[in-house]
Amino acid sequence: MQDLKPSYIKTFAKDDLELSTKDLRVLYGGKVQKLFDASLQFKEHTITALIGASGSGKSTFLRSLNRMNDRVAKINGEIWFHGLDVNQPNINVYELRKNIGMVFQRPNPFPKSIRENIVYALKADGQNDKNELDRIVEESLRAAALWDEVKDKLDKSALALSGGQQQRLCIARALAVKPEVLLLDEPASALDPVSTSKLEDTLKQLRSRYTMIMVTHNMQQASRISDYTAFFHLGHVIEYNSTAEIFTNPKGKITEDYIQGSFG
Ligand SMILES: Nc1ncnc2c1ncn2[C@@H]1O[C@H](COP(=O)(O)OP(=O)(O)OP(=O)(O)O)[C@@H](O)[C@H]1O
Ligand SMILES: [Mg+2]
């Protein structure tokens, strides 16, 4: 039987925290437990990579943070977004997801124009000042490093963009509602190397203003862009530390084996 006790879990000063979980447990179908007592703290304006083999619980953890698992799973334990208790039943989940946005593995733009993709949520909220919406379109596309490529075709279909451009559009769409946190579940796995590199540059530029938590299977990617890394194994968080420490000086044997490519 493998020892699944954490070998090291980094913590931060309370004032530096953006988001944290305490003893987070997730059970699918009400009974099958797939995440065990995950206690992780995320520091403001950093990028944290979540790594681990397929099925280790990375997406389960990530999706719990903005209540995307509500319909399929039972969530126990605590999630704190600053002073807000995310698991409280009376939380406005729509508002929560404006603060904690999400970008998925497959780019999923709406079948609408580039512009409409970005202003969709704002219009739904009753914003209709055209100048202000135009300003947000430009600001969001610039932040997602897509403006120069699309500024002359804002009213063309988003589906005509390349996969990499679509993924950056999905980031721009998420940024338009002014989130503090971006959750990214393998955002580059469907992209070619050039698009991946552009996406990584984009995320690095966003780090000064946003807190990002990103699942990745790509160890080089984790070490290139993340500040901190959490290693998941069979639903347990085994080790959490600065990315440099995790990759050069892992404390746990399972972490070391995973990083060296012995499994997963
Ligand atoms: N909606 C669901 N209903 C039931 N079981 C689920 C559901 N989603 C995930 N699981 C199970 O929970 C476990 C963890 O899955 P999860 O998707 O979190 O893994 P992961 O680390 O993201 O894997 P991958 O790297 O393949 O994306 C797996 O055993 C999976 O089959
Ligand atoms: Mg996953």
**pLDDT per residue over 14-66, tens digit each?**
999 999 999 999 999 878 999 999 999 999 999 999 999 999 999 999 999 99
Say which residue the tokens 């338009």 belong to.
176
60 lines ligand 1 (CB under 6 A): yes
Residue 184 alpha carbon to ligand 1 centre in Å: 16
Nearest ligand by distance to the CA of 185: 2
Asked if 239 and 230 count as a contact pair (C-beta separation under 8 A), the reply is: yes
pLDDT of residue 190: 85
Of 27, 50, 48, the closest CA to residue 37 belongs to 27
Distance CA 188, CA 47 (A): 15
Query: Which residue's entry shows tokens 């959750």?
Result: 183
**CA-nearest residue, atom 31 of ligand 1:** 55
Pairing of strands 73-81, 17-28: antiparallel
H helices within the chain, ranges in order? 58-65, 93-99, 114-124, 130-143, 147-150, 163-176, 193-206, 219-225, 243-248, 253-259
> For 123, phi and psi rounded to 5 degrees?
-65, -40
142's tokens:
């610039």
Question: Ligand 2 centroid vs 55 CA: distance in angstroms?
Answer: 7
Kindly give the distance from the C-alpha atom of residue 224 to the centroid of ligand 1, in angstroms, as a whole number. Answer: 26
Task: Look at residue 263 and tell me whether its pLDDT is greater than 80.
Answer: no
Is the C-beta atom of 64 inside 6 A of ligand 1?
no
* Contact by Cβ (8 Å): 190, 106: yes
d(Cα 249, Cα 242) in Å, to the nearest integer? Answer: 10
Ligand 1 atom, smallest distance to 235 CA: 14
Pull the structure tokens for residue 76. 């126990």
Compute the distance from residue 34 Cα to the ligand 1 centre, in Å: 8
**pLDDT for the residue numbered 29:** 87
Pairing mode of beta strands 211-215, 47-51 = parallel
Average pLDDT of the chain, as a whole number: 95
Look-up of token digits 């530096």: 16
How does pLDDT run across 92-106, given as a tens digit for each residue? Answer: 999 999 999 999 999
Q: Whose CA is nearest to atom 5 of ligand 1?
A: 28
pLDDT at 1: 61
pLDDT the model gives residue 191: 85
Q: Which residues contact 233 (CB under 8 A, 6 or more apart)?
A: 4, 52, 53, 56, 254, 258
For residue 205, the SS3 value is helix
Instruction: Give the tens place of pLDDT for each residue, 146-192.
Output: 999 999 999 999 999 999 999 999 999 999 999 999 999 999 988 88
- Diameter over CA atoms, the chain: 62
Distance (angstroms) between ligand 2 centre and the Cα of 71 equals 17
Share of the chain above pLDDT 90, in %: 93
